[in-house]
Chain A
Amino acid sequence: MKKPTELLNDVTAFIWQEADLLDHKAYQSWLDLWTDSGLYIVPSELEAEDYENSLNLALDDAAMRRMRVARLESGESVSAKAAIKTVRMVSRVRVLEGGENLVIARCAQTLNEMRHGKLVTYPADIEYQLRPVADGFRIERKVVRLLHAESFLRTVSFIF
């Protein structure tokens, strides 16, 4: 069993690595971070719990994640081409459950996007369910609760 500080360190390093891959649009490497059954979820209602029976902004299984990445990388999407750069900051990482087979962690993220010369900011709470594996973790579930999920968002052509 790892010491709590050691686990926190490993989880934080993993989450930072994921954030770095997404900001640098290394989407193929990002896909490798997931388990086959993993779900990437951006709810449209902050209180939602039964995501599969709720309308979300995104609820991606492995196939949808691959399709989402293919769309962003295809060069066919004019909005993806306009999403030049994102810079996200992740902090306030806390391990909620540190099991042998499943680690649950929560953190805060602020993502900044430069869009048509204007800075757009997306603060969010993110919850991870991580499967420990030999070389770190795989993501079983990532739930991104955007602060303004229930109000009016700008359109999004990147991955939170």
Chain B
Amino acid sequence: MSDLIDIENVDAQSIGKRAADMVDDEKGRVKKALYSDPAIFEEELDKVFNNTWVFVGHESEVAEAGAYKTAFIGRQPVILVRDRKRNLHVLLNRCRHRGATVCEGRKGKTKSFTCPYHGWGYALDGELRSLPKAEEYDGVIDKSELPLERLRSESYAGMVFATFRDDIEPLADFLGGAKKWIDLFMKQGGGYPVKVLGEHRFNFPGNWKIQLENTTDAYHFPIIHKSFISSLDEATADIFDFLDGEGFVEDLGNGHSVMVMIPELTDLEDNLEEPIPARFQGLADELKAEGHSDEEVRRLVRAVHGTGFNLNLFPNVSCSMAFFRVLRPVSVGETEIQHVALGGEGAPVAFNRKRMRLHEHFQGPMGFGTPDDGEAWERVQKGAMAGTDGWILVNRGQNNLHRTPDGNVAGAVCSETGMRGAYRQYKKMMADGEEI
């Protein structure tokens, strides 16, 4: 093979460059082929998902020594596990012998990972510990060189991210301006550490970027979710009538953005003296009857509905009002989504119970909101097949931008500022240093 031209690489670069060119930053539009071209999808796995920090779980999901959960980075199966010394590891879920997955559970507790095929046994930190019939390997392999492959992983505020790249910036730098909003988001434990209570899982026949856009799209809310809003009492329905309010969407850099829909629910430790909303009076009475102080009751009630913003973290997770929304690209036209319900570790049972009921009301495959989102996304994917060429518009609110106190660009609450921020990062990653 010629060492002057690496044909495979030239080919790959041209697909990435082609995808990058499909993002028209200036005009705020992207080519619909980004939703439907299988070659571009394959390139995205490599240039985006294998190339940045990807959310794999929350520390509360693996709270005890030996606790694990399985996850994916793009298409690659990984295990998030806490070892006996309580250190967290993200391991590739693949035996080093003949490559079978060593863990098929969704979550659980274990002492080790044993490959079911030939019995190779790995410790919780991934070290290879045991091999049946080891004598045939004498002088052939060195066990210390064959651990489950360990990814670089770092946490922020309990959120665990992993990456295949050892040479990219630390997680804290990647999150940058988003950290302030993660801190605010985590106040919804009502004075208790945030913990995962359960999750809804569903899929839709469409591209992952359709879902990414949706979490920073306030414009759709009163239209597609009309039937959800109709199911609310008048006061709550008014809260969700936010398009003409003081909210905004701020581009936080690195593809991250925050969409503040209900500004008065930005900091859940503020305004504790406000009257208890009628829909939470039952919860307040229950907490009071359990002996919680007035201040504690107010803090819990204010936190129970979650924050008034969606924080989109590129490329696969959103801190969305009261839950984590995690996406996984399966193929160019299929995406899996988890809606992870959150509560407070050690918080009153009534508080966590109410949060789960609120989650069930809107979220998940049987919620009053998610199915209508899913229907719209499915139609976007279908529509992407119409015509030979075409643009998706993400230019809403481009004419009305301002600088925030943090120095970022922001637009109106129903602007598509967050989508443009995500696509700017996407364009940069897909171009991968090529001129665009």
Interface residues of A (CB under 8 A from B): 42, 44-45, 52-59, 64, 67-68, 70-71, 74, 76-80, 82, 116, 150-157
Question: How far does the Cβ of A63 sit from chain B's closest Cβ, in whole Å?
Answer: 10
Q: Which residue of chain A has the shortest Cβ distance to B356 in the bound complex?
A: A55
CB 8 Å contact bits of B216-237 with A (1 = contact, 0 = none): 0000000010111011000000
Judging by beta carbons under 8 Å apart, are B201 and A154 in contact? Answer: no
Q: Which of B248-256, B308-316, B364-372 has 4 or more CB atoms under 8 Å from chain A?
A: B364-372
Question: How far does the Cβ of A116 sit from chain B's closest Cβ, in whole Å?
Answer: 7
Chain A residues near B231: list those with CB within 8 A: 67, 70-71
Judging by beta carbons under 8 Å apart, are B201 and A82 in contact? Answer: no
**Which residues of B in the span 331-372 have a Cβ within 8 Å of any Cβ on A?**
336-337, 341, 349, 352-353, 356-357, 359-361, 364-366, 368, 370-372
Question: How far does the Cβ of B332 sit from chain A's closest Cβ, in whole Å?
Answer: 17
Judged by a CB distance under 8 angstroms, whether B204 is at the interface is yes
Judging by beta carbons under 8 Å apart, are A152 and B356 in contact? Answer: no
Judging by beta carbons under 8 Å apart, are B360 and A155 in contact? Answer: no
Q: Which of B47-55, B90-98, B374-382, B385-393 has 4 or more CB atoms under 8 Å from chain A?
A: B374-382
Known contacts A150-B201, A153-B202, A154-B202, A82 near B353 by CB under 8 Å: no
For the complex, give the distance between the alpha carbons of A55 and B341 in Å. Answer: 8
Chain A residues near B230: list those with CB within 8 A: 70-71, 74, 76
Q: Which residue of chain B has the shortest Cβ distance to A45 in the bound complex?
A: B198
Judged by a CB distance under 8 angstroms, whether B203 is at the interface is yes
CB 8 Å contact bits of B163-190 with A (1 = contact, 0 = none): 0000000000000000000000000000
Judged by a CB distance under 8 angstroms, whether B296 is at the interface is no
For the complex, give the distance between the alpha carbons of A21 and B230 in Å. Answer: 25
Contacts A59-B360, A155-B365 aside, 8 further interface pairs with beta carbons under 8 A come to A45-B198, A52-B353, A55-B199, A57-B365, A153-B202, A156-B365, A156-B366, A157-B375
Judged by a CB distance under 8 angstroms, whether B197 is at the interface is yes
CB 8 Å contact bits of B189-201 with A (1 = contact, 0 = none): 0000000011111
Q: Which residue of chain A has the shortest Cβ distance to B372 in the bound complex?
A: A79
Judging by beta carbons under 8 Å apart, are B371 and A77 in contact? Answer: yes
Chain B residues near A71: list those with CB within 8 A: 227-228, 230-231, 368
Chain B residues near A58: list those with CB within 8 A: 360, 366
Question: How far does the Cβ of B200 sit from chain A's closest Cβ, in whole Å?
Answer: 6
Interchain residue pairs with CB less than 8 A apart (14): A53-B356, A54-B198, A55-B198, A55-B199, A58-B360, A150-B106, A150-B201, A152-B337, A153-B203, A154-B202, A154-B204, A155-B374, A156-B366, A156-B371
Question: How far does the Cβ of B75 sit from chain A's closest Cβ, in whole Å?
Answer: 15
Chain B residues near A64: list those with CB within 8 A: 361
